[in-house]
Amino acid sequence: MAGFSVTGLTSGIDYGQLIEQLVSVEKKRVNSFNEKKTDYQSKVAAYETFSTKLGTVESAAKKLKDASTFDVKSAEVTDDTILSASASYDAIAGNYVISDITALAQANKITNVNAKSLADKDTTTVLASGQTFRYTVTVSGTAEITTITASSNLTLEGLVSAINSTQSAANSLLTVTGTIINDGNASTPYRLVLTSKTSGSSGGITVGLDESILDLDNTSGTGGTTTLQSAQDAAFKVDGLSVTKSSNTVTDVIAGVSFTLKKAAGSGSSYTLTVKNDTDTIKANIKAMTDAYSEAIKYINDNSKYDSDKKKGGPLYNEGTTDSVIRRIRTIYTSAISGLADDTKVMAQVGLKTNRDGTVTLDEGTLGSKLTSDYSDTRALFIDNTSTGIAGVAKKLYDELDDITDFAEGSVTVRKKGIQKVIDKYTNDLRRRYQLS
């Protein structure tokens, strides 16, 4: 069947062909609109990815820009079954001797004395509805009485739950923990135990109880409590100095060091606690920044290429913004820091060498050697040296990226917004031309 055509009756014009030509022109125009829109959308997506990669560099630089985060210390002990330790950035490297661990800190623990134990913990009523159970906790001369009034019959489990859910509004130290122990008795094994929440004798903790209630099933008439564990301080020496502490976790004897005593090894015991720069972690942090930096550079390189076969550039080809960003951060990475030691003023001197494509290769051996032999100067190359006013590479890089990626006014953000406006214009022009909804 022949194609449809309309021929002018008098003019000789082939209107069918004319219509086809007009439709073809409009199709090309629409396709051109869509191609340009797609290209710009690819640019926005590429900038989004680039921004994310720059954010990764910024986060890595943040760990290295301040002394408090650059300095990572490790703490090791000669016997971790006796004590464990950790060190913060401001700990002073060196060896410390922890010796004569004669006692561990412990809390006061009591139970009911002369009383029969219970055959069960979840059936028998130990505190009837309306009855009260009172106990007193004293810390450093401050006493507080806590009263529990049963709203219904309480079993031993119910009483323990009520004790543990009661917190002192005035002082959280003035509370106890209730537990149930099984003493092994074949017929009546269950017994109530109260333990103060504060360890150490320095707190002066005593627990007084309403004996008629605690002595749950006592038939002897004597009642009362017995001490299962006395309150006591930890006792030990640090570099020959005698120390007592109410807690087994000690945070205020060696500056920047926290250690926890696990066993009372006795008089004559001696263990070495060593604090040193954790160069492995510091190297890993520097590597993380370097890898993230190189990844950002590589992403720009890959997406800025021109394909001569397709006669088309990548989404970031000929983008002045990305070129400017790369120049700014590359200058920081490759420039010497004025005021630092001559042998530690550029990144290449500590093992970070810039390649021809702009990426950076890390020589971990060189970096490790510099951190070991010349820690102070190597550290100064990265951090914000507040005492001298010299900003290191990590500090400069962080500040530059913080400006570049600023959510409102950063150059990357501004460029993305500009491209989005072009996309919106193409979309609106197309809608107006063809009256699309």
Domain boundaries, the chain: 34-68+280-434, 74-104+241-274, 107-229
Categorize the per-residue pLDDT at 290 as very low, low, confident or very high, splitting at 50, 70 and 90.
Answer: very high
Confidence of residue 22 (pLDDT cuts 50, 70, 90): low
Residue-wise pLDDT tens digits, 24-82:
556 666 666 667 778 888 888 999 999 999 999 999 999 999 999 999 999 999 999 99
- Rounded Cα–Cα distance for residues 120 and 118 (Å): 5
Q: What is the pLDDT of residues 376-398, one digit of tens each?
A: 999 999 999 999 999 999 999 99
CB 381 within 8 A of CB 65: no
Specify the range with the lowest mean pLDDT, choosing from 102-116, 184-198, 228-242: 102-116
Question: Which residues on adjacent β-strands are paired with residue 204?
Answer: none
State what percent of residues in the chain have pLDDT above 70: 81
- pLDDT at residue 32 in the model: 65
Q: With 90 as the cut, is the pLDDT of residue 411 above it? A: no
Whole-number pLDDT of residue 142: 76
- pLDDT for residue 15 is more than 80: no
Least confident of 10-19, 137-146, 161-170, 394-403: 10-19
The predicted pLDDT at position 436 comes to 52
State yes or no: pLDDT of 1 exceeds 50. no
Q: Mean pLDDT, to the nearest integer, of 275-292?
A: 97
Q: Per-residue pLDDT for 116 more than 50?
A: yes
- pLDDT band for 219, please (50, 70, 90 cuts): very low
Among the listed ranges 111-120, 321-330, 400-409, which one has the minimum average pLDDT value? 111-120
Q: How many whole angstroms separate alpha carbon 307 and alpha carbon 181?
A: 78
pLDDT at 133: 83
Place 425 in a pLDDT band, splitting at 50, 70 and 90: confident
Q: Please, what is the average pLDDT of the chain?
A: 84
What is the predicted pLDDT for the residue at 217?
A: 44
Q: What is the pLDDT of residue 19?
A: 61
Q: Give residue-wise pLDDT tens across range 224-281.
A: 566 778 889 999 999 999 999 989 999 999 999 999 999 999 999 999 999 999 999 9
